[in-house]
Amino acid sequence: MASRLYRENAIVLRSYKLGESDRIIVLLTEFSGKVRAVAKGIRKTRSKFGGRLEPFAYVNVQLHRGTSLDVINQVETIDAASSLFGDLDVMTEASAIVEAVDQLVPDREPVPNIFRMLVGGRKTLIERPSPMVVPAFLWRLLDAEGLRPELDRCISCGEPDSADHPLASIDLERGGTQCRNCRTGVAVSAAALDVMRGIFGGRLGEVLDEHHVPGEQRLGVPVVNEVSALATRAFEMHVERRLRSVAIFEIHDGA
């Protein structure tokens, strides 16, 4: 009989109370997908887990496979989330990223590519935060789902973007950009299109670096606001839910 014990690298997405002293921890694991597991006694003062299972923590866990919920037996910290706690903007961005993954990924479906994306996004937020991290992450998640929008030609007439025939709008329901003659979606600027093309076209690091401002992560810049709003709308349309963390981040940055 195969052992029910297994060990995985994982990132904590969220947790919630169970009974008087336990918590259910939602993890994105490297090879088993999203897993819900019980951390027994974690809310007691002398819990063996301590603070190692906070949201966004990067850990190695040993679990015992159950029918609906697994049980966490051991936890080793790979990289704690404590470095995020002093920066409200970065904490809110981290919350938005893990919420998006939690909403998108079904339980126990292996998604190693999304796990790698989450590890990379987490590393960027900790080491070199940028207000473009969340919208870029949302767009890349949609790309992983096969939902990359057409950004180089009009989806209605097929004409490519050019000085004589510029793209002027994007229709997220129909899946891409449109020219002035065909437009049915929302207006989109040339600057936002350039950023989005960079996100999808191998210039992600360049895009993030361009918008990195040490010590200040407010949206502020119009092109960041535009790309962020489009990414949020596209993602929420796909998952058919609101992203609460993104809404909080936008309210905070608009204050």
Per-residue pLDDT of the chain (255 residues; tens, 9 = 90+): 467 999 999 999 999 999 899 999 999 999 999 999 999 999 987 888 878 999 999 999 999 999 889 999 999 999 988 767 667 788 889 999 999 999 999 999 999 999 999 999 999 988 888 889 999 999 999 999 999 999 999 999 999 999 999 999 999 999 999 999 999 999 999 999 999 999 999 999 999 988 876 655 555 589 999 999 999 999 999 999 999 887 665 544 544
Residue type, 8: E
Q: Is residue 155 part of a domain?
A: no
Q: Which two tokens stand for residue 10?
A: 């994982």
Show the DSSP H helices in 46-189 as ranges.
88-104, 112-127, 133-144
Query: Do 135 and 224 touch, CB atoms closer than 8 A?
Result: yes
**Same-domain check for residues 130 and 221:** yes
Output the pTM of the full model: 0.91
Q: Which of 57, 80, 103 is the C-terminal boundary of a domain?
A: 80
**Same-domain check for residues 125 and 197:** yes
Q: Is residue 156 part of a domain?
A: no
- Write phi, then psi, for 114 (nearest 5 degrees): -70, -35
The domain total for the chain is 2
Domain that holds residue 232: 85-148+180-253
**Same-domain check for residues 136 and 25:** no
Q: Is residue 232 part of a domain?
A: yes
Burial grade of 69 (CB within 10 A; 0-12, 13-18, 19 or more): middle
Query: Do 58 and 119 touch, CB atoms closer than 8 A?
Result: yes
Q: Which two tokens stand for residue 138?
A: 């949302």
